[in-house]
Amino acid sequence: MSQITTPKRAPFGTGLLKGLGVTIKHMLKPASTQQYPHERPDLPPRTRGVIALMDENCTVCMLCARECPDWCIYIDSHKETVPPAKEGGRARTRNVLDRFAIDFSLCMYCGICVDVCPFDALWWSPEFEYAEYSVTGLLHEMEKLREWADTVPPPPPLEEGADIPAEVGDAIAKKNKELEAADATREQAAVEAATPAAEQGAAPAQAKSAEPEIEIEAGEIDQETYDQLIAEGKSERVARAKAKAAYVRKARQAAREAAPEATAAADAGAAAAPDKPKLADVHVEGAGEVDQEVYDQLIAEGKSERIARAKAKAAWVKKQKQKKLDEEGGA
């Protein structure tokens, strides 16, 4: 038979002494609790706090609202007509964003809307302090979402030797042009402010006289029409085309007025010429196979002989079938 051994018990008070030792050890260590809000946490730069909106990138494609599993995104927009970028182009319509709101009382922060946005209009912001005293206050509109977009950190730098994305390069070039134009405007304003009023009044006249006048061959276009169109703001190409058409009209009218005798002789010669055969006199080969009346009518309408012959033949076949049916019905 096996003997039952009783476990040895620790001396009385050992557990208490161990607990006091743990307490004393942590009492001697500095506290790790941050006294928020007096001490702000040091968060990683890519912390997912709240969803921010860059409304200038939004094209109202509605992908984010359709893909949201909680249906917490609300978008309103309207259409506007955009004039053509170049003269003679076609006007376009585009959607203009009126409202973009996210109800964070329903949002589960899945980030699907950020992933599906094709134009980088939605971003994760490290901002997390947006608590409200009521649930209705968690419905944030476009203005608040745009403020959070300013807290989004810049993207990480590209690898050494990597090409800049095309959209980034275009945006940088556009911004540089705007800055250069603004600098030129400021310099011009400073020059005008430093120039006396008398010199300012004389400067436009001198500049206007210094501009070379656009001289073109008067024999090809109507100079008066050209100058009028240029003064109305038309492009040189349009003005030249319309002025050339005006010149042709005037030349024809002048030719008619200068040669009335030639015109009368031409009219007399046309009257003396033998008359053209009428449509009723025009017959085709195999007249029994085509409908002559339909053929004449199509020729009078300006149809080609081949088309007129084909349609007249089809009309003749229809009449023959109808005639046969009438005979059978009468019998």
* Per-residue model confidence as pLDDT tens digits over 53-95: 999 999 999 999 999 999 999 999 999 998 888 888 888 899 9
* Per-residue model confidence as pLDDT tens digits over 29-61: 887 788 888 888 888 878 899 999 999 999 999
For residues 144 and 68, membership in a common domain is answered with yes
For residues 71 and 135, membership in a common domain is answered with yes
Name the pTM for this structure: 0.44
| Residue ranges making up the domain that contains 316 | 288-330
The domain boundary, picked from 131, 149, 167, lies at 149
Query: Does pLDDT of 138 surpass 80?
Result: yes
For residues 55 and 145, membership in a common domain is answered with yes
* Per-residue model confidence as pLDDT tens digits over 248-280: 778 777 777 776 655 555 555 555 544 544 444
For residues 59 and 142, membership in a common domain is answered with yes
55, 146 in Cβ contact below 8 A? yes
Instruction: Domain count for the chain, please give it.
Output: 3
For residues 138 and 227, membership in a common domain is answered with no
SS3 percent helix, strand, coil of the chain, rounded to 5, is 50, 10, 40
For residues 246 and 322, membership in a common domain is answered with no
For residues 243 and 312, membership in a common domain is answered with no
